[in-house]
Amino acid sequence: MELLLKYFELKSGIDLTGADKELIAQRFKLKRLKKKQYLLQEGDICKYISFIVKGAARSYSVDERGIEHILYLGIEGWWMGDNESFTLHTASRYNIDMLEDTELLIITQDHLKELIEKLPAVASTMATINNNRVIAAEKRIHAALSQTPEQRFDVLSNDYPDLLKRFPLTMIASYIGISTKTLGRIRNGGK
């Protein structure tokens, strides 16, 4: 919980009082999941948005041929969830499972709204996060539409070297939308 409190203070630039911290601690719940366990499954409604305290997770969809496509990879300090399902209460197209034993702090939409209304630090943080999400998503769209697989891999290597160290290449390939075969070709000097 300490990590999350510091996160809000850091992102918002606003100090939290003891009472603020207590309220946050009451609204978020700790959830422990082991490797391969699911936080969300396709068809479910995403009731919680989750802050990763420790561990790693991914969200992915499965197409009609059974192939998995990774939408997000997350590690400590990142959020996981299906924004669409969480916001609109629609059935999710995604699965979220753990890639390591993981500790999450989860919160419902109602409680999150409450925190946003009562705590400027949370409101500011969430507004900033949303804006950053848009920027990151637009970069990723731009990459997917106008860059070659090799360029996308290079950009990922530069922007998120942590992901490369932490996740198998099969998942990195899926994340940037290419086959492991193509990724192999790229990594071994483009032959």
CB of 170 vs DNA, minimal distance in Å: 4
Q: What is the dihedral of CA 75, 111, 19, 10, to 10 degrees?
A: 30
Q: Which is nearer to DNA, 148 or 157 (CB)?
A: 148
Give the closest residue to 94 by CA, choosing from 34, 35, 44. Answer: 44
Q: How far apart are the first and last CA of the chain?
A: 48
SS3 37: coil
Judged by the rule CB under 7 A, the positions of this chain that interact with DNA are: 65, 67, 148-150, 168-170, 177-185, 187-188
100 Cβ neighbours under 8 A, 6+ residues apart: 35, 55, 56
Which residues within the stretch 51-110 sit at the binding site for a second copy (CB under 8 A)?
61, 63, 67, 69, 71, 83-84, 87-88, 93
Determine the Cα–Cα distance for residues 173 and 165; give it in Å rounded to an integer. 14
30 binds, among a second copy, DNA, none (CB under 5 to 8 A by kind): none
Please say which residue, 4 or 173, places its beta carbon nearer to DNA.
173
Residue 1 CB, nearest approach to a second copy (Å) = 26
Site residues for a second copy per CB under 8 A: 61, 63, 67, 69, 71, 83-84, 87-88, 93, 127, 130-131, 133-135, 137-142, 144-147, 174, 176-177
